[in-house]
Amino acid sequence: MLLQRVVTAVVLLALLVPALAAGSAWPFALLTLGLIAAAVWEWGRLNRVASLLALVLGGLMLAAGVWAVRTAVLEQVPAAMWWAVCAMWLAIGAVVLRAGPPAWSRWPVLARVTLGLLALGFGWLALTGAHRLGVNFLMSVLCLVWAADIGAYAAGRAFGRNKLAPTISPGKSWEGVAGGMLSTLVLAVAWIAFLDPRFGAQGASLYARLLESFGGLGLAVGVIVLAAASVVGDLFESLVKRAAGAKDSSRLLPGHGGVLDRIDALLPVLPLAMALAASLR
């Protein structure tokens, strides 16, 4: 299992690094679009969509994304739309997580599929938008989610006593959430102190933008809210998998599960980061 995880990670990095280093935005956009299309296929399977229709949905997402790249739609997303996506996550996420896995299975299939297409489509738009703001900005957002996940795991293992959502993800605890948020705060301070001075020419990080606009307190609040959003995304996918009786979204990434398993926490965080960035200009 460990060897599979390492090999898969190396292959993904071998694809991702050249796409990030390319002088044009389209290699990264198309590479990530392929992953999002795969995630759409996984979402369809988790929500009882026939295999062929799930493939068609993935193909439609791929076609829509290629059209967006060719027509420069990616460069014309207003801040109001990002805030609307955040409001969607806040409202629907609260309803779905509060109701639990059994209620999700009673939602009409069309509603569940549509919600997944919106979350994944806007997630990809936000990912490509973050890339256009600079690799420094993009990586600061991605690393925030990874730091929240690692910190939550470590703190949960060491101190976890109070369950966060036992009917959705029994392993998660409130202590883990606190540890994840602390990790993101440490990351933000370290990024501003050490990485922004070195890579700021490639675009300011999200943390530097928050600090410049709102000061230290605003930076802390923004980072904590983003970390909380990552928890919502993680729990949402866990709920869908539990309702489907699945451990992983698929086996597309050997040793890692599926694409959705790797990007779930990013789906609400990326639009929120773009909403903040667009509002700070």
Does residue 207 sit in helix, strand or coil? helix
DSSP 24: S
Q: CB under 8 Å to 38, separation ≥6 — which residues?
A: 58, 250, 252, 258, 259
The DSSP element (H or E) to which 56 belongs, if any, is helix 51-70
Q: What is the pLDDT of residue 162?
A: 97
Taking the domains of the chain in order of start, what are their residue ranges? 2-280
Tens-binned pLDDT, residue by residue, of the chain (281 aa)? 556 877 788 888 888 889 998 888 999 999 999 999 999 999 999 999 999 999 999 999 999 999 999 887 777 788 899 999 999 999 999 999 999 999 999 999 999 999 999 999 999 999 999 999 999 999 999 999 999 999 999 999 999 999 999 999 999 999 999 999 999 999 999 999 999 999 877 789 999 999 999 999 999 999 999 999 999 999 999 999 999 999 999 999 988 899 999 999 999 999 999 999 998 85
Mind listing the pLDDT tens digit for each residue in 190-208? Answer: 999 999 999 877 789 999 9
Contact 93, 23 (CB under 8 A): no
Q: What is the pTM of this model?
A: 0.95
Please name every residue paired with 51 in a beta bridge, in sequence order, or none if there are none.
none
Q: What is the pLDDT of residue 1?
A: 59
- Residue 72, judged by CB atoms within 10 A of its CB (0-12, 13-18, 19+), counts as exposed
Q: What is the pLDDT of residue 281?
A: 59
Angle at 202 between CA 28 and CA 39, to 5 degrees: 25
Q: How far is CA 52 from CA 37, 41, 49, in A?
A: 14, 9, 8
